[in-house]
Amino acid sequence: DAKTTQPPSMDCAEGRAANLPCNHSTISGNEYVYWYRQIHSQGPQYIIHGLKNNETNEMASLIITEDRKSSTLILPHATLRDTAVYYCIVRVARSGSARQLTFGSGTQLTVLP
Protein backbone atom coordinates (compact mmCIF):
# COMPACT_ATOMS: atom_id res chain seq x y z
CA ASP A 1 0.00 0.00 0.00
CA ALA A 2 1.19 3.51 -0.84
CA LYS A 3 2.65 5.74 1.88
CA THR A 4 0.79 8.89 2.85
CA THR A 5 1.96 12.20 4.29
CA GLN A 6 -0.28 14.44 6.38
CA PRO A 7 0.40 17.55 8.45
CA PRO A 8 0.57 16.62 12.13
CA SER A 9 -1.93 19.25 13.24
CA MET A 10 -4.37 21.86 11.99
CA ASP A 11 -6.80 24.32 13.54
CA CYS A 12 -10.12 25.43 12.14
CA ALA A 13 -12.70 27.92 13.35
CA GLU A 14 -16.11 26.52 14.20
CA GLY A 15 -18.54 26.91 11.31
CA ARG A 16 -15.78 27.25 8.73
CA ALA A 17 -14.69 24.60 6.26
CA ALA A 18 -11.85 22.35 7.35
CA ASN A 19 -9.56 21.28 4.53
CA LEU A 20 -7.26 18.41 5.41
CA PRO A 21 -4.56 17.59 2.85
CA CYS A 22 -2.93 14.25 2.18
CA ASN A 23 -0.03 13.49 -0.10
CA HIS A 24 0.19 10.06 -1.69
CA SER A 25 2.59 10.58 -4.54
CA THR A 26 3.38 6.86 -4.96
CA ILE A 27 -0.23 5.77 -5.31
CA SER A 28 -0.90 3.01 -7.82
CA GLY A 29 -3.73 2.90 -10.31
CA ASN A 30 -5.72 0.33 -8.34
CA GLU A 31 -5.32 1.99 -4.93
CA TYR A 32 -8.17 3.83 -3.26
CA VAL A 33 -7.94 6.77 -0.87
CA TYR A 34 -9.76 6.23 2.42
CA TRP A 35 -10.34 8.67 5.27
CA TYR A 36 -11.04 7.66 8.84
CA ARG A 37 -11.13 9.74 11.99
CA GLN A 38 -10.63 8.94 15.63
CA ILE A 39 -12.24 11.07 18.30
CA HIS A 40 -10.21 10.90 21.47
CA SER A 41 -9.60 7.19 22.25
CA GLN A 42 -12.81 6.08 20.56
CA GLY A 43 -12.79 3.54 17.75
CA PRO A 44 -11.85 4.93 14.34
CA GLN A 45 -14.79 5.99 12.20
CA TYR A 46 -15.00 5.66 8.45
CA ILE A 47 -15.61 8.97 6.66
CA ILE A 48 -15.30 8.56 2.92
CA HIS A 49 -13.25 6.93 0.18
CA GLY A 50 -12.59 7.40 -3.53
CA LEU A 51 -10.56 6.21 -6.49
CA LYS A 52 -10.26 9.10 -8.92
CA ASN A 53 -13.50 11.01 -8.93
CA ASN A 54 -14.46 13.51 -6.25
CA GLU A 55 -16.84 12.07 -3.71
CA THR A 56 -19.34 13.57 -1.30
CA ASN A 57 -21.44 12.12 1.47
CA GLU A 58 -23.29 13.44 4.48
CA MET A 59 -20.08 13.82 6.45
CA ALA A 60 -17.52 15.22 4.03
CA SER A 61 -16.22 15.72 0.52
CA LEU A 62 -13.12 14.14 -0.93
CA ILE A 63 -11.24 15.94 -3.67
CA ILE A 64 -8.60 13.88 -5.50
CA THR A 65 -6.21 15.65 -7.87
CA GLU A 66 -6.19 14.58 -11.49
CA ASP A 67 -2.78 12.90 -11.13
CA ARG A 68 -4.05 11.22 -7.93
CA LYS A 69 -0.90 12.15 -6.07
CA SER A 70 -2.77 14.10 -3.41
CA SER A 71 -6.23 14.57 -1.98
CA THR A 72 -8.13 16.87 0.35
CA LEU A 73 -10.83 15.97 2.82
CA ILE A 74 -13.29 18.80 3.30
CA LEU A 75 -15.57 19.15 6.30
CA PRO A 76 -17.87 21.90 5.03
CA HIS A 77 -18.99 23.35 8.36
CA ALA A 78 -16.73 22.17 11.13
CA THR A 79 -18.15 21.81 14.62
CA LEU A 80 -16.44 21.24 17.95
CA ARG A 81 -17.41 17.56 17.66
CA ASP A 82 -15.21 17.27 14.58
CA THR A 83 -12.10 17.68 16.72
CA ALA A 84 -10.28 14.40 16.10
CA VAL A 85 -7.29 12.75 14.48
CA TYR A 86 -7.93 12.29 10.78
CA TYR A 87 -6.21 9.45 8.94
CA CYS A 88 -5.65 9.27 5.21
CA ILE A 89 -5.07 5.68 4.09
CA VAL A 90 -4.27 4.41 0.63
CA ARG A 91 -4.77 0.79 -0.20
CA VAL A 92 -5.74 -1.69 -2.84
CA ALA A 93 -9.28 -2.97 -2.60
CA ARG A 94 -9.34 -6.57 -3.77
CA SER A 95 -12.41 -8.61 -3.14
CA GLY A 96 -11.62 -11.54 -0.90
CA SER A 97 -8.19 -10.32 0.08
CA ALA A 98 -6.88 -9.22 3.41
CA ARG A 99 -8.23 -5.79 4.13
CA GLN A 100 -6.23 -4.51 7.00
CA LEU A 101 -5.78 -0.77 7.26
CA THR A 102 -2.36 0.78 7.77
CA PHE A 103 -2.76 3.86 9.93
CA GLY A 104 -0.09 6.54 9.91
CA SER A 105 0.19 9.40 12.35
CA GLY A 106 -2.76 11.34 10.94
CA THR A 107 -3.67 14.99 11.37
CA GLN A 108 -4.94 16.27 14.69
CA LEU A 109 -7.73 18.67 13.75
CA THR A 110 -8.77 21.06 16.48
CA VAL A 111 -11.94 23.03 15.89
CA LEU A 112 -11.84 26.26 17.83
CA PRO A 113 -14.94 28.05 19.15
Q: Tell the smallest beta-carbon distance from residue 37 to another protein (Å).
A: 11
Could you tell me the end-to-end alpha-carbon distance of the chain, in angstroms, rounded to an integer?
37
Question: Please, which residue, 26 or 45, has the CB nearer to another protein?
Answer: 45
- Which one of residues 8, 43, 67, 81 is an interface residue with another protein (CB under 8 A)? 43
**Identity of the residue, 14 or 55, whose beta carbon is nearer to another protein in the bound complex:** 55
Give the residue from 111, 109, 51 showing the smallest Cα distance to 85: 109
Which of residues 34, 75, 84, 107 is near another protein by CB under 8 A? 34
List C-alpha distances in Å: 55 to 6, 41, 100, 108, 113: 20, 27, 22, 22, 28
108 belongs to the binding site for another protein (CB under 8 A): no
Closest CA to 21 of 74, 84, 67: 74
Return the amino acid letter for 68: R
Residues in contact with another protein by the rule CB under 8 A: 32, 34, 38, 41-46, 49, 87, 93-96, 98-105
